[in-house]
A and B are shown apart, each in its own frame.
Chain A
């Protein structure tokens, strides 16, 4: 397999020439990795790392500047009672909510991500998607989470999806681009692998599983396919791409399984907030609760953790 620039017409043969994914084997491997026992010091390190990897997210029609600013404040100080608790990686909001979030996050080192490109369906004309992207960046977002056109992908119009990603990447300027594959709508693991490569070839800085708006969101097997894809892509091209599972990851136990999977497949280079993120909202409080349990020896009630 050679990686050529898709200008050479060969995108379809390249994607269809990728090794297949055996569903049964993949799922049993993901399940086996989930049985690793991570305790004591390893658990403490994993929890802090997971907190640093969280893209704290709110994507509701009911979001208001007040709500978003509260969330941004929590991103900076997840556990007000414990100064040793690290901040999260980023806050992730709709484009209209970027300005109020930016006010709180400015200069903090916590990134500000905005979904764009007619999130979550991606069903809008390209110029609308690009304007959406430019607006979010201009308002202060330094990370853009775009959605691919699943319809075009499933119809086999790979070139179209590719060109769209290239255009959005250009509209991003210096902002990092995360490409949401919406794996729950792709139907097969083979498609997940193909979409991952397509996005990476088109210039994605991150590939992300889901919008969180369809019933099937991030799973361990899907993320495993994507981790294998970024690993293989770097081996072929030298360029490292990040991975972001999003949606449905709610517990520390789940988060640790993902970290184990990175450690044993893509490798420790990805065990870093620059290369791996959790798109989540309720996960953070469970991480904080387990962190407190490890440091104090007992569980604190849910009222000791902020709800924003």
Chain B
């Protein structure tokens, strides 16, 4: 039969140092607060030792950003644009290196970091470079002003892409930033620091401080910060909202999700199956807007599930650096635990669990693509964000029931609708309380399109013209 031979992307394009310091005021420096290790989740191999920023280092970083803010915000927009264009081009030039790095540190398949993440990262910088000299015409007043120093805390699921979403609009609008990447995926942000130097970005405009939750808390709570932007869990988002309450700090939060992917009986079935697979298995399901609840019209349930299972059997789980891998490694042991706990709860609560036969590597953190059928709104796996390759399948009978179930969640980040009937799509989309509604597609991103949540999925928008607002006064 037809077997694909291994097709590994070469690691030699990326040169990872043994240890990394903190990027403050244009140069790397040690931390007095110790260090931590970042590992390759596919092999558990230690990739590098990374400095952990303490209160003292956060002070230094915020001070550097404050010093840089005056001259940076005083630059004409067209001058700031030049730096952003330069950064975007360097990212394109180094995209292969960055893609391999991202797959090594995060566990995501190379085809995704190469074909999705990196092109979007560059596109985001290009997009906001274009806005830098047009802020007066963006609809936020005749003379919109930057806020000052932005504290940005990003998650581990799209390390470099989330950095781009945060840094590009902040710089375009004249703010300076202190960014903390996630503890398990610090490397691409540190490489980005190098790109800032390569682009001759003035020292202090971008500062990268690495560390765990304490570092993030110290940064967010620092009195010298004017703006906090956070992407991550709803739980941490709540803590941050509490901590900035009553301060002058502006806040945007992009939090969890439990998106409904609604398949009507007149849907283009083969493409809907692709959309379901993409919705939940893209990036191992480590996607805040993942279509983790499949709502399928009861009249086509069996047919759709059969197609879905057949399709899932062709998913290739394994070495993230193999060009034919569809599903890579779970990002950390901790996340794997959480996925297992929730999946076990699904079985315990009576849902039927299914995974295609697939052999998982012995080393590293892995979870087979999984679907649960017979799930109801009362199951934990229909309510809680799993953030893994686990799909809960529910059914509905009428459009009204689909809408009701889709909205019956504390979250509201995204949703999907599958139907050949345009009028149905428009009517349903109108009633879904979700920041993004995809029709006959899923997980499509574009820098021009705003992204953000309703309800406990957060507030504020990132991307496009809307994304400027969070960084302007």
Tell me if chain B binds chain A.
yes
A residues in contact (CB < 8 Å) with B: 19-22, 24-26, 28-29, 35-43, 45-46, 49, 228, 259-260, 263-264, 268, 271
Which B residue sits closest to A29, measured CB to CB? B274
29 contacts between A and B (CB under 8 A): A19-B266, A19-B269, A20-B267, A21-B270, A22-B271, A24-B440, A24-B441, A25-B271, A25-B274, A25-B440, A25-B441, A26-B271, A35-B115, A35-B323, A37-B7, A38-B5, A38-B7, A39-B7, A41-B5, A42-B2, A42-B4, A42-B5, A45-B2, A259-B2, A263-B2, A264-B314, A268-B1, A271-B1, A271-B2
**Whole-angstrom CA separation of A39 from B4 in the bound complex:** 7
A25 touches B2 (CB 8 A): no
**Whole-angstrom CA separation of A43 from B5 in the bound complex:** 8
B111 touches A35 (CB 8 A): yes
A20-B420, A36-B324 known; A25 and B275 CB under 8 Å?
yes
A46 touches B2 (CB 8 A): yes
B359 contacts the other chain (CB 8 A): no
B15 contacts the other chain (CB 8 A): no
B268 contacts the other chain (CB 8 A): yes
Which chain A residues border B266 with CB–CB below 8 Å?
19-20
DSSP class of A's interface residues: helix, strand, loop or mixed?
helix
A225 CB → nearest B CB, Å? 8
From A20, A35, A40, A263, B5 is in contact (CB under 8 Å) with: A40
**Whole-angstrom CA separation of A42 from B314 in the bound complex:** 17
A37 touches B270 (CB 8 A): no
B334 contacts the other chain (CB 8 A): no
B296 CB → nearest A CB, Å? 13
Interface size class of B (residues with CB under 8 A): 20 to 34
B3 contacts the other chain (CB 8 A): yes
A29-B271, A36-B324, A264-B314 known; A22 and B440 CB under 8 Å?
yes
A304 CB → nearest B CB, Å? 26
Which chain A residues border B111 with CB–CB below 8 Å?
35
Task: Mark B31-63 against chain A: 1 for CB-CB distance below 8 A, else 0.
Answer: 000000000000000000000000000000000
Which chain A residues border B271 with CB–CB below 8 Å?
21-22, 25-26, 29
**Whole-angstrom CA separation of A132 from B94 in the bound complex:** 61
Which chain A residues border B115 with CB–CB below 8 Å?
35
Add 19 more A-B contacts to A25-B270, A35-B115, A36-B324 (CB < 8 A): A19-B270, A20-B266, A20-B420, A22-B268, A22-B440, A24-B440, A25-B271, A25-B274, A26-B268, A26-B270, A28-B274, A35-B323, A38-B5, A42-B2, A42-B3, A43-B5, A45-B2, A45-B3, A259-B2
Which chain A residues border B3 with CB–CB below 8 Å?
42, 45
Which A residue sits closest to B3, measured CB to CB? A42
B residues 294-324 touching A (CB-CB < 8 Å): 314, 323-324
Which B residue sits closest to A21, measured CB to CB? B268
B5 touches A25 (CB 8 A): no
**Whole-angstrom CA separation of A166 from B263 in the bound complex:** 37
Which chain A residues border B4 with CB–CB below 8 Å?
36-38, 42
B312 CB → nearest A CB, Å? 12
A13 CB → nearest B CB, Å? 14
**Whole-angstrom CA separation of A38 from B266 in the bound complex:** 36
Return the 5 tightest CB-CB contacts between A and B, nearest first.
Answer: A25-B271, A37-B7, A22-B268, A22-B271, A37-B323
**Whole-angstrom CA separation of A140 from B441 in the bound complex:** 50
Which chain B residues border A268 with CB–CB below 8 Å?
1-2
Which chain B residues border A40 with CB–CB below 8 Å?
5
Which chain B residues border A41 with CB–CB below 8 Å?
5
Which A residue sits closest to B4, measured CB to CB? A42
Which chain A residues border B314 with CB–CB below 8 Å?
264
**Whole-angstrom CA separation of A37 from B274 in the bound complex:** 20
A36 CB → nearest B CB, Å? 6
**Whole-angstrom CA separation of A167 from B275 in the bound complex:** 41
**Whole-angstrom CA separation of A90 from B450 in the bound complex:** 55
**Whole-angstrom CA separation of A260 from B314 in the bound complex:** 11
Which chain B residues border A37 with CB–CB below 8 Å?
4, 7, 323-324
A273 CB → nearest B CB, Å? 14
Which chain B residues border A263 with CB–CB below 8 Å?
2
Which chain B residues border A39 with CB–CB below 8 Å?
5, 7
**Whole-angstrom CA separation of A24 from B271 in the bound complex:** 9
A294 CB → nearest B CB, Å? 12
**Whole-angstrom CA separation of A92 from B274 in the bound complex:** 36
B residues 1-38 touching A (CB-CB < 8 Å): 1-5, 7
Which chain B residues border A35 with CB–CB below 8 Å?
111, 115, 323
Which chain A residues border B268 with CB–CB below 8 Å?
19-22, 25-26
**Whole-angstrom CA separation of A36 from B115 in the bound complex:** 13
**Whole-angstrom CA separation of A49 from B1 in the bound complex:** 10
**Whole-angstrom CA separation of A38 from B3 in the bound complex:** 9
**Whole-angstrom CA separation of A121 from B304 in the bound complex:** 38
Which A residue sits closest to B9, measured CB to CB? A37
Which chain A residues border B275 with CB–CB below 8 Å?
25
